[in-house]
Amino acid sequence: MFFERLGHAPVIPRDDWFDRLARSAARKARTGAKENHGSITRRNAVGLFAGTTAFAILGSWMKPAHALSAMPRAAPDPGCPGTRTFFREGCAKKVPKLAPYKPAVNGCGPQNGFNPVPQAPLYLADFSPACDGHDRGYGTCNRPKDVTDKKFLEDMKSICVGSGTAVTGLFDALLMLQCHRNAEIYYTAVSTIGDDPYKSGQSEGCDCCEECPGDAVKCKGTCCRPGFICSGNGFCCEPCKNGWIPCPQSSGEWARCGFGCCNPATPVCCPTRTPGRTTCCPGKCSGTGCG
């Protein structure tokens, strides 16, 4: 026992402790009855019964099963059936961050440092609302970049149309044309050089969801060891070492995985006399082995 190893007396189990209490109470009751000429008062009997009953209920409720059931449990994560971890590049499954996360917005231009990008180019229309929507799109987990970029262009063109400039003559038409041209310039910029901002927004808006520890693969409902692969037969198998050659194998030691591994010095997979078996040969194959 753990306490015995520490040099302490073992803890008496709760049920055994209660039995000892009950026996002690019974002995005291018999002793009291003898002292009172073989009788025990009704009041003492009721008190003894009530006290032992209360201890029984309390002892039962405090057992581990009740104590654990009374402990608060974490709410299920609807976005991740496995383990939610901080975002990292290349994680198998990206999931949106939980509330109260909201993507950061700062109008047009980069998030930090000096911002040379005008919010209202040539003072024709204020593109800030469209830029804020673009920031929210980049910071929304798993939203494709091109979807956010195209929505950005549509929003800017809508701002041009609703800018209050009435196209009543050639000059107004030129202003409207220039506004649309500015929108296309902004769109071209984010669609061609916006990869890094998009990745940054995704890293802020996403977590990783690991179905298996260490993001290992899963075969037939079973998590494989980290670094193992799921073979064509649906089993967790250790892959061949770097430079080694996988050979098909349908019987023998490697039949479960469906392949064996050949040393780089013997890189040719040749059949043998045994059906389904292969051998690793340094050169050519004969009909039933190495040539």
Whether 259 maps to a domain, the answer reads yes
| Residue 288 counted as domain residue | no
Q: Which residue range forms the structural domain that includes residue 49?
A: 2-70
Average pLDDT, the chain: 77
Are 172 and 192 in the same domain?
yes
Percent of the chain with pLDDT over 90: 30
What would the pLDDT profile of 206-216 be if each residue is shown by its tens digit?
999 988 877 78
Residues 203 and 222 both lie in one domain:
no
Percentage with pLDDT > 70 across the chain: 71
pLDDT band at 184 (very low <50, low <70, confident <90, very high): very high
Give a yes or no: residue 289 inside a domain.
Answer: no
- For the chain, what's the residue count? 291
Does residue 78 sit within a domain? Answer: no
Total domains in the fold of the chain: 3
Give the DSSP letter of residue 211.
S
Q: Please tell me whether residues 153 and 234 are part of one structural domain.
A: no
CA distance from start to end of the chain: 65
Residues 96, 6 within the same domain: no
| Residue 33: pLDDT over 70 | no
pLDDT by residue (tens digit) across 113-170? 677 889 988 888 999 999 999 999 999 999 999 999 999 999 999 999 987 655 567 7
Within a domain: 291: no
Q: Write out pLDDT tens, residues 100-115.
A: 999 999 999 887 767 7
Which residue, 152, 185, 207, sits at the end of a domain?
207
Higher-confidence residue: 5 or 122? 122
Q: Where among 176, 207, 238 does a domain terminate?
A: 207
Q: What is the mean pLDDT of residues 237-244?
A: 90
* Structural domain includes residue 120: yes
Do 109 and 157 lie in one domain? The reply is: yes
Helices (H), 104-210: 128-138, 145-161, 170-193, 195-205
How far is Cα 251 from Cα 237, in angstroms, rounded to an integer? 15
Residues 76-95 have a mean pLDDT of: 84
pLDDT tens digit sequence for 135-148: 999 999 999 999 99
Q: Does residue 160 share a domain with residue 227?
A: no
| pLDDT score for 10 | 39
Within-domain flag for 287:
no
* Contact of 140 with 96, CB cutoff 8 Å: yes
Q: Check whether 233 has a pLDDT greater than 70.
A: yes
- Of 36, 70, 104, the residue at which a domain comes to its end is 70
Same structural domain, 195 and 100 = yes
Question: What backbone phi and psi angles, to 5 degrees, belong to 122?
Answer: 60, 15
Q: Mark whether 244 and 199 lie in a shared domain.
A: no
Q: Which helix (H) or strand (E) holds 52?
A: helix 42-61
> Which tens digit of pLDDT belongs to each residue from 34-83?
444 444 444 444 444 444 444 444 444 444 444 444 445 556 777 887 78
Statement to judge: residues 93 and 202 lie in one domain = yes
pTM of the model: 0.53
Q: Order of strands across the sheet with 94-96? A: 83-85, 206-210, 94-96
What pLDDT is attached to residue 285? 86
Q: Are residues 98 and 192 in the same domain?
A: yes
* Co-location of 170 and 251 in the same domain: no
The pLDDT score that the predictor gives to residue 18 is 43
The answer to whether residues 200 and 130 belong to one domain is yes
